[in-house]
Amino acid sequence: MRWLGVMLAAATLAAAQDVPRPRISGVAHIAIYASDFEKSRAFYRDFLGLEEPYSLPKPDGTPAMTFFKINERQYIELFPETAPHTDRLNHISIETDNAEAMRVYLASRGVKVPNTVPKGRIGNSNFNIKDPEGHTVEIVQYEPDGWTVRERGKHLPDTRISKHMMHVGIIVTGFDAEMKFYTEVLGFREFWRGSSTGTELSWVNLKVPDGDDYIELMLFKDAPAPDRRGTAHHLCLEVSDVAASVAALDAKPYRKMYTRTIESKVGVNQKRQVNLYDPDGTRTEIMEPGTVDGKPTPSSGAAPPR
């Protein structure tokens, strides 16, 4: 009987490994809470120049959320906060070409998933899972009759600060579990590690399996307080020329309302970048795609925080 149990367990494991993983083509969006919805709305609309293709109301008519369009497949979602002085990150989202197949695949790998894949209010198939750190990760499939597809070719002004979200950053304290989840379960590919000190690892960059967008793991021994996570939980927008982008920001009427210094620098990754902060302190990193000398920046060999 013991032999039969071992054989059944082996067969179950083999069956799970045979379930194929659908494509994960990119980072679809990052969703952020705002303490003052209209103030944050103005930051993303009037300063970053992103248009809102659609918004969703609550039953009482007040805003439930709004969408800021970066390109045809990427958005920033803004939600009114549910409680003050809490984490500004609502969730991140990755795009697949088959949400139901992804649900089945994730279930085969032991990830808790819903029994079915629902359609959201804007008509796309989506469901949520949790990564080992507790972050909500939305799996989304853009449907032909969904609003995302409906609005193709619209709401893409040349005046928007960027046409591509390169990555989103999330806080990680359980390094090994998070790496296993994103690389072994979801199939992300590590391509760079960086250290701000030279002695302890600070960041790990993981590309989606079937595209170039990536997630940046922001490593901590202990997570910052919930109301101090806006620098780590962030989004990164690609620009071809940081200096030109800063000049464009300086010329916007909203610049008079933005009281922070806008300072261009070269990061540890040797890419020019500048940090902007919405009214709640959530960071938008504006970054050039290439290094200043055109050469790849070597990965750090430092150990993760312990």
Distance CA 230, CA 260 (A): 15
Tens digit of pLDDT for each residue in 185-222? 999 999 999 999 999 999 999 999 999 999 999 999 99
Beta-carbon count within 10 A of 289 CB: 11
Q: How far apart are CA 231 and CA 112, in angstroms?
A: 29
| Residue 261 dihedral angles phi and psi, to the nearest 5° | -75, 140
Cα distance between residue 52 and residue 88, in whole Å:
20
Per-residue model confidence as pLDDT tens digits over 99-149: 999 999 999 999 999 999 999 999 999 999 999 999 999 999 999 999 999
Average pLDDT on 175-181 reads 98
Residues 51 and 70 sit within 8 Å (Cβ to Cβ) = no
Indicate the pLDDT class of residue 16, thresholds 50, 70 and 90: low
